[in-house]
Amino acid sequence: MSEQSASDCFFCAIGSGAAGIPFVAERKTVVAFRDISPQAPTHVLVIPKDHYRDVPSLAAAAPQVLADLVEVGRLVAEAETGGEFRLVFNTGAGVGQSVFHVHGHVLGGRPFSWPPG
């Protein structure tokens, strides 16, 4: 899949509210919503409202937004899984990033093994 720009990014439409996807949580800089193909009882995506390609880009350009993203992930997990969760960021197509708008996967509600994959 080719990389999206902000103008053709579905996650930007979600973050702005234009896509009509219900939010699990919303803050000034980030939103959280349920994954359409859940891999665990709790599988929520947390995204910045503004477009950043991946987590290193977000960390370099807007570290406070990354902190907000992690905090919202923690709050969702606290409410849904008792605070035990995995927070996953994929960076690059070769490791599974299919939408090139940074998103953290909040996964929980079942046991996980290590290593993943």
Q: What is the DSSP string of 51-99?
A: --SSHHHHHHH-HHHHHHHHHHHHHHHHHHHTT--EEE---SGGGT--S
> What domains lie within the chain, and their CATH numbers?
6-108 (3.30.428.10)
Instruction: Give residue 15's identity as a one-letter amino acid code.
Output: G
Choice between 2 and 82, residue whose per-residue pLDDT is larger: 82
Choice between 8 and 75, residue whose per-residue pLDDT is larger: 75
Instruction: Please give the pLDDT value at position 2.
Output: 43
| Beta bridge pairs of residue 43 | 107
Instruction: Please give the pLDDT value at position 53.
Output: 96
- The predicted model gives 57-71 an average pLDDT of 98
- 103 included as an active-site residue: yes
- The predicted model gives 77-91 an average pLDDT of 96
Exactly one of 51, 101, 103, 105 is catalytic; name it: 103
The span from the CA of 62 to the CA of 85, in Å, is 24
pTM: 0.93
